[in-house]
A and B are shown apart, each in its own frame.
Chain A
Amino acid sequence: MQQRTRREFVRDGLSAVAMGWAAPGFLSELARAQTGHSRNLVVLYLGGGNDALSFLVPYTDPAYYERRPKLAIPADQIIDIGADSTGHPLGLHPELTGLKTIFDDGALALLQRTGYPDSSRSHFRGTDVFSTADPDRPQGRGWLGHYLDTLPGPVDPLTAWNTQQQLPRSFLANRVGVPSIPNLSTYAFSSPNSAFSLEEAEYSRMSAKRIVAHGATSARNTHVAFVNSTVQAAFDTLDRVGVVAAHVPTAEYPQTALGGALSAVGSAVASGAGTKLYWVQTGGYDTHARQDTLTGNYARLMRTLNGAVSAFYTDLKNQRLLEQTVVLVFSEFGRRVSENGSAGTDHGSGGLMFAFGGRVRGGIYGRAASLEQRSDNPDLEYGGRDVRFETDFRAVYARIIDHWLGADSSQILGADFRQAGVEFI
């Protein structure tokens, strides 16, 4: 019987690649060969619409205090990080002490006023736009899914790693499957006899592995063979995820879901899992009411974010792995300049993206918006309600694709979005 190396199945425009049979060791070699410098990109999505103005604060703009009497952070509580290119002094939310450390290391790039024309203020649509990089038709595969599809096959099953239970659209590819590994310890093969006898559980596991090893090469039709190959790939990822699970981090991560997810990513990077793309997300940013920037909801969000991100940064720095990692953080939109009647903010437009990593050129990019509510204020839109975007988010993506992933951003994004002013990597 001929050994099957690769098959593609096309189904309504979608296809999936079957892994050829190969021993786990070989696959890790393959992964390393594919990844070259074993660079990786961690995408962190803040779900709900992060209030950029509470994160990176224009604390000397009088309009900031006029338009947010309850939500504005007093200037003396801000963590000063200097000024942007137009001389606007800016500071970080007081909880972001860890980010300040990263900024001082020159490894944190803050990208102000990112967005796109006619910004959607819908969570679903906004997230889909950022996921597909296509504001006009935000359906189908994601921008990183598209990137995965351009990789030469056979693509290592752990090339991308999703820390959430559901696959995000950004990682949705036509031909490459992405494992969802929300929990390192439960990503395992279960046997009904595990609780009674480790020996019996092992018999189950060995049988299952042997059955699919046969089936991948000799199954009666290509579809059954494909499922066999998929399970084989699953077994292979299990072993490698098991290695990651056994790794001990060098920093103490907070006991939050975000902390756990970044801890897993840190362990995967340190274990040489060979993964190129990681997806992490955390939610709660849709602060319509009682935002309580300084002491309540938003402060808690910042504390959670800061704690997990600092631990991750420290963990990688300790192991000298910062050089090969870039973390890109985004949210589906920013929020209104003025606070609303419920001491919160409504969906807005231009927001903040940021990135950090050993190779990132730290600093403040873009120009802070003047928040003065004047009809002729070009920095605002929608009657002065929202911050107008200045840098298309696709320019940020293009920079990552061209200069970090080593691919062609025009091909991936469908057009040329390269521009000056986003040389953060």
Chain B
Amino acid sequence: MAVLEPAVGHLLRRAGFGASEQEAGVWNELGVRAAIDKLVDYELTPNPVDTGIGGTARLGITSNGPFNPNDEIVDARQRWLFRMVYTARPLQEKMALFWHDHFATGYGKLTGQLGGEGATRALAQVPAEYIDRRQREGVGQVPRGQLELFRDLALGNYRDLLLAVAQDVAMVAWLDGDTNIRYFPQENFARELMELFSVGVDHFTEEDVYAGARVFTGWNLKRHDFARGNDQRSDFYWSPDRHDDGPKTFSFPIYRDGRRTIPARSAMDGFQDGIDLIEALAGHPETGAFLCRKLYAFFVNDTGPIDERVVQRLARTYYATGFNMREVVRELFQSREFQDPVNYWARYSWPVEYVVRIFKEVGCAGFSANQALSPLANMGQTLFEPPDVAGWSTGASWMSTATMLARMNFASALSENQRFALRTAALDHGLSSEAVLDYFLGRMTVPPLDVDSRQELLNYLNANEAYVGTRIQAWFKGAGLAHLIAASPEYQFV
């Protein structure tokens, strides 16, 4: 079994969720350059990951009744965790997580408007799994959940992503777009579109928000209430008669020639207003840098200041390629700065990243994803439930006494669950404390430890008697060592 090369490991922890022992060899073989291309051009890799759910010797799922990830939020969370562990397209799944934080939409509020199942569908529904529904409900198309939108457009065109998000049922409900109608413009979406999704807080005015609200009047939802109680569904619904068809003027250019006013149009043609505004915001001179700063913090470094030169270079690519996220991200990974060892381990792991990495590095066969949900909440991150539309507070903000206890105790629970396999691994890899420690440190890709920490771990292995690799010693120390490493402060960084 191979140990990840440092540069490859760094790439996989950032562009994905790390690698298991079994996967390490494959990535090492590719080397960094080819690995980047494989990660970025992920469409070339088939990924039937969902079909693996329920398979033996895999991360398990526990559900209340039949597994129903399209209607039950707890099942949807488990499905997403499963995907992150077993995906053949790590960067696609990682970008979906990035977009989920960027366009933060929360399940709790949505249940009030769409019901529990409706909210889950809006967030996580996989349309292809709804053959029955299509037949039963007699509808042509089942909308894809917001997460599927993020997976589809993970490295797509940012303008297209903004446009798709503006018509996403979850987003429209979340930001009250369904009440945004002519004469009563609702500002929530227009404000967040500018403040959080494109130009950032200092680069638009209140008048821009009001004008933006008018642009999106009529971008509503249509609710279908079916006879069977809770089986409610909403779809995006463009209502020309609820659209404010007057002209809208902004403080920044909308069109290439510098014009700042979206002209009055007939109501039927009014949808174009939104397309024009989104095109303008995607191309606004602040948007590239705004987005690339977030990408920098997410992929390169969130423990130090953002390198503005890198951000500006990436922003230039963003505009030059017409907002092509694939090329921006490819350039980011290929950059000298990303690959500089000074940026290894320079990012606090998100709770979800921590959990998925341990699953891959310690193992999770027979462990249920459901058992990770409560610990994840205690660590401060529940999938599909960001604290508000600004997303999670990341970096050092993940760290508190309670969240560190949650991480450490989760590592303990998983190690305890995996102790048979860990005993076998210990027995196979060392008849001395040094040998078994080196094996575990390699498998769990920890940054080089200082002398004192390393000595403490050796002391742990030799605690009541010298470690010589007996079965009983491996029984205790295999699980115990995996726990201590995963609970260590160094391991909280990726």
Contact = CB atoms under 8 A, between A and B. Distances in A.
B404 A204 contact: no
B452 to A, nearest CB: 4
B115 interface: no
A330 B237 CA distance: 40
Nearest to A223: B303
Contact of A230 (B377, B401, B460): B401
Contacts of A211: 452-453, 456-457, 484, 488-489
Given A9-B396, A16-B396, A234-B401, A215 B489 contact: yes
B62 interface: no
Contacts of A194: 412
Interface centre among B109, B402, B490 (most CB of A within 10 A): B402
Contacts of B413: 190, 192
Interface SS of chain A: mixed
Interface stretch (B28-36, B44-52, B475-483): B475-483
A54 B108 CA distance: 28
15 contacts: A11-B393, A14-B397, A15-B396, A16-B396, A16-B399, A16-B400, A139-B390, A157-B401, A179-B402, A191-B483, A194-B412, A207-B457, A211-B484, A211-B488, A219-B450
A210 B456 contact: yes
B187 interface: no
A91 to B, nearest CB: 34
Interface in A112-169: 123-124, 139, 157, 162, 165-167
B401 A223 contact: no
Contacts of A212: 489
Nearest to B448: A220
A102 interface: no
A263 interface: no
Interface string A234-268: 10011000000000000000000000000000000
Interface in A169-201: 177-181, 187, 189-197, 199-200
A191 B480 contact: yes
A233 B378 contact: no
Interface in B357-409: 377-378, 388, 390, 393-397, 399-402, 404-405, 408-409
Nearest to A238: B405
Contacts of B482: 192
Contacts, number: 142
A234 B404 contact: yes
B400 A177 contact: yes
A234 B402 CA distance: 7
Given A179-B401, A190-B413, A11 B488 contact: no
Contact of B460 (A187, A204, A237): A204
Given A204-B480, A214-B453, A180 B395 contact: no
Nearest to B112: A123
Contact of A219 (B303, B457, B489): B489
A422 interface: no
Nearest to A177: B400
Q: In the complex, which range does the number of interface residues on chain B fall in?
A: 35 or more
Given A214-B456, A230-B401, A200 B408 contact: no
Given A208-B408, A231-B404, A165 B399 contact: no
A83 interface: no
A228 interface: yes
Interface of B: 108-109, 112, 302-303, 348, 377-378, 388, 390, 393-397, 399-402, 404-405, 408-409, 412-413, 415-416, 419, 450, 452-453, 456-457, 459-460, 463-464, 476, 479-480, 482-484, 487-490, 492-493
A370 interface: no
B483 A192 contact: yes
A187 B405 contact: yes
A212 B452 CA distance: 10
A204 B127 CA distance: 48
Contacts of B108: 124
B377 A223 contact: no
B354 to A, nearest CB: 12
A165 B377 contact: yes
Contact of A203 (B109, B480, B493): B480
Interface centre among A191, A210, A226, A238 (most CB of B within 10 A): A191
Contacts of B484: 204, 207-208, 211
B178 to A, nearest CB: 15
Contacts of A234: 401-402, 404-405
B365 to A, nearest CB: 16
B443 to A, nearest CB: 16
A218 interface: yes
A139 B388 contact: yes
A224 B408 contact: no
Contacts of A207: 456-457, 459-460, 463, 484
Contacts of B112: 123
Nearest to A157: B401
A190 B409 contact: yes
A234 B399 CA distance: 11
Interface centre among B400, B489, B490 (most CB of A within 10 A): B489
Nearest to A187: B405
A227 B487 CA distance: 11
Contacts of B490: 224
A201 to B, nearest CB: 9
B45 to A, nearest CB: 34
A191 B484 CA distance: 9
B493 A223 contact: yes
A220 B451 CA distance: 11
Contact of A193 (B395, B396, B402, B476): B476
A220 B344 CA distance: 13
A203 B459 CA distance: 9
B463 A203 contact: yes
A27 B479 CA distance: 33
Given A191-B483, A192-B483, A211-B456, A227 B400 contact: no
Contact of B400 (A11, A178, A191, A223): A178
Nearest to A217: B452
Contacts of A224: 489-490, 493
A157 B390 CA distance: 27
Contacts of B409: 189-190
Contact of B408 (A15, A189, A228): A189
Interface centre among B405, B460, B480 (most CB of A within 10 A): B405
